[in-house]
Amino acid sequence: MNTPIIVCRNLKKTYGNRQRKNEVIHGISLELEKGTFYSMIGKSGSGKTTLLYLLSGLLKADGGEILLEGKNLEQMTEAELERIRRKKIGFVFQDYQLLPELTVRENILLPQILDGQDLDEEWSSQILEKLGLTSLADRFPDELSGGEQQRTAIGRAIVNRPDILFADEPTGNLDNKTSEEVLDFLLSVHREYRPAILLVTHDLDLARSAEVVLHIADGRLLEPGKAGGEQ
């Protein structure tokens, strides 16, 4: 068994105000192991995106604790969280979130710039090659298709060799064929570099590709299923 990278216990999250409270996460406990590909599936409004944001430290939980490699995210300062986002975590979003003024290669290298590292051109070339973007390296995002943009976003997410990759409905804006391509790239990235991946989706077929499928409904985690559709 792999060592857990993220452990959360009795996680709770409530939206709203005093008069009207909406508890969207009801005491979820979970362990994400290093190098494992997780997918999280659930209906709209079931709390899957909120859980992802909580696990990545983008949202503060109202109860429970989240440990990233043994360190409590809740007790971390803003600067520490920033450092974790630069070094340990990679994000892939549904709307890509690329900078239009930067080329594909530059977008991929951006996290290194923000981290103050020397640019690793060789590594970026490898990523470009792996993602099939070598020929598009000097193009701007608005010259790319949705799938290509998402592949660029994946490249950007892994350039700093994160321990965990959060993907929030990365295929939400894409057609089936492109979605499959993106999933293939995520799988190949996982195979190659072995980061833990948490893929949030509501597409059951995509979710089945993961090693572990997490079901979430009404803010509660159902029994985890195994790959191949065991639920």
Partner 1 sequence: MRARKLSGLTYRCFRERRMPFAICLSICVLFGITFFSENYAANSILQRKMTYGYHNGAVFDIGGAEEKRIRNHRAVTACGRMDIYGEILDPANGAAGSIGAVDESFQKMEQLAFLEGTYPARDNEIAVEEAVLDELRCPYDIGSTITLNIRYHLDGIEKKVKKQYRLCGILENYSAHWKNEGYPLCGAIVSEMDGLSRQRHIFFCSEYREEQQMEELKWLLTDRTRHENQIVYNSYSFPSEIDSLSDAAEHGFVIGIAILLCLLFILAVQLREWKRQRYGLKVFRLLGAGNRTLGCILMKNAVLQWLIWCAASISVCSGFALARFLFLSHQKRKIPYIISAKPYVYAVAFSLPVVVVGKWLFLLMMKRAEPVPSGKGVGKYEDGGRVGRKKRIKFSPDGFRRIEKQRMRKQFGLELAYCVAAVSILAVCVQEICGSCHDYAVNSIVNSYDYQWTAYGMSGMDMWQIQQIKNTEYMECVDYASCFYSDMYERFSIRYEGMEADPYAELFQPGDAPETEGMDISIVMLPEGSGLWEYYFPENCMEKDAFLRGEQVILYLPDMMKSKGRSTAVNILAVNSGYHGKNVLRSSVRQGTEIQICTTGHGTARTRCGYVMKKYPGEIQSGRDILLPGTVLISENLYRKLFKTDEIKYNQVMAWGGPQLSYDVSDKKMSFVANTPDITFVNTRLEREKYRKNFRMNAGLLGGTGVFLCILCLFLIYRNRLEFLEAEQPRIRIFQLLGMKKAMLSRLYERHFMGWLILYSVLCNAALCLIRLEHEYAGVITAGTLANRWKTILRLGMYRFPWVLCVAVQALALFGMYGVGISKFTRRRTVELVEQPRHLAG
> If binding is defined by CB under 8 A, does position 58 make contact with partner 1?
yes
Query: 18-37: which residues touch partner 1 (CB under 8 A)?
Result: 19-22, 24
Instruction: State CA 22 to chain mean position distance.
Output: 25
> If binding is defined by CB under 8 A, does position 123 make contact with partner 1?
no
**Taking a C-beta distance cutoff of 8 angstroms, is the pair 206, 41 a contact?**
no
Nearer to partner 1, 4 or 47 (CB): 47
> If binding is defined by CB under 8 A, does position 102 make contact with partner 1?
yes
Q: CA distances (Å), 121 to each of 13, 54, 113, 210, in order?
A: 41, 33, 12, 30
> If binding is defined by CB under 8 A, does position 85 make contact with partner 1?
yes
For 147, list phi and psi in degrees, rounded to 5: -65, -40
Nearer to partner 1, 20 or 177 (CB): 20
In the complex, the smallest distance separating the C-beta of residue 11 from partner 1, rounded to whole angstroms, is 15
In the complex, the smallest distance separating the C-beta of residue 175 from partner 1, rounded to whole angstroms, is 19
For 52, list phi and psi in degrees, rounded to 5: -60, -45
> If binding is defined by CB under 8 A, does position 83 make contact with partner 1?
yes
* Cα(203)–Cα(172) distance, integer angstroms: 9
> If binding is defined by CB under 8 A, does position 76 make contact with partner 1?
no
DSSP 110-174: HHHHHTTPPP-HHHHHHHHHHTT-GGGTTS-GGGS-HHHHHHHHHHHHHTT--SEEEEESTTTTS
> If binding is defined by CB under 8 A, does position 59 make contact with partner 1?
yes
> If binding is defined by CB under 8 A, does position 82 make contact with partner 1?
yes
Q: Which of 70, 122, 142, 223 binds partner 1 (CB under 8 A)?
A: 142
Tokens of 161: 């060799």
> If binding is defined by CB under 8 A, does position 217 make contact with partner 1?
no
> If binding is defined by CB under 8 A, does position 100 make contact with partner 1?
yes
Extended strands (E) in the chain: 4-16, 21-33, 37-41, 63-68, 71-72, 89-93, 164-168, 196-201, 212-217, 220-221, 225-226
Query: Which segment (3-11, 103-111, 183-191, 194-202) binds partner 1 by CB under 8 A?
Result: 103-111
Q: Which of 25, 91, 127, 154 binds partner 1 (CB under 8 A)?
A: 91
Tokens of 71: 């360190």
Tokens of 139: 């193009």
In the complex, the smallest distance separating the C-beta of residue 230 from partner 1, rounded to whole angstroms, is 31
Q: Which residues bind partner 1 (CB under 8 A)?
A: 15-17, 19-22, 24, 53, 58-59, 78-79, 82-87, 91, 97, 99-103, 105-106, 109-111, 113-116, 119, 140, 142, 156
